[in-house]
Amino acid sequence: MTFNKSYKRNKDIVESKKSKGLRVFLTILYFVQVVLTTFPFMWGPDEKGNPKQLTAFQIAIQPDGYQGAAEIKLAIIFGILVLFPAVCFFFCLLDKSALKNFVSFACCLVCACIITFGIGGMIATGALIALLLYIFILFISTASLVSQVTPDKTEE
């Protein structure tokens, strides 16, 4: 039985300077996204019915419990908005292969769609900044993928 010797392990991947710089930049951007989940994400009513800005954590984790199916749906949506940036942060921090770019691209698309279509007219400042940053991360992820796929001519 013979094995394919062209298979590279993850630790054998040599990262170019440009790819490493983009990976570090993506890691920083995802850290900012994690911090942005503590900013106001949507407008919602408080106990008296007055409009109040709520963070993603306040909506995802409600210590008093959930009153109905709509609150459970919002908790799942905002749980995704809290979880995905953290997952992408660790992917960009630890993964040197092209997999991090695909994960980053998919998470950005999902989160941008959730912010755009899930929150809709109740969007607050933190969600708007996060949406713009997700769009920027999409471009950086694409540039990082292209830099990993194409050979670097300066290192030859």
Residues 78-120: pLDDT tens digits? 888 888 899 988 888 887 777 888 888 888 899 888 888 877 7
d(CA 148, CA 66): 45
Q: Is residue 52 domain-resident?
A: yes
Higher pLDDT, 120 or 10: 120
Q: Is residue 73 domain-resident?
A: yes
Q: Is residue 77 domain-resident?
A: yes
Q: Is residue 64 domain-resident?
A: yes
pTM > 0.95: no
Q: Is residue 72 domain-resident?
A: yes
Q: Is residue 68 domain-resident?
A: yes
d(CA 107, CA 143): 16
Domain of 115 in residue numbering reads as 16-149
Q: Is residue 155 domain-resident?
A: no
Q: Shortest CA distance to 23 belongs to which of 126, 133, 99?
A: 99
3-class state of residue 45 by DSSP: strand
Counting the structural domains of the chain, the total is 1
Helices (DSSP H) in the chain: which residue ranges?
A: 17-36, 56-60, 69-94, 99-113, 125-149
Q: Helix axis angle, 99-113 relative to 17-36, nearest 10°?
A: 30
Q: Is residue 66 domain-resident?
A: yes
Q: What is the pLDDT of residues 16-49, one digit of tens each?
A: 777 788 888 989 999 999 898 888 888 877 777 7
Question: b/e map of 45-63 (b: 16 or more CB within 10 Å)?
Answer: eeeeeeeebbbbebbbeee
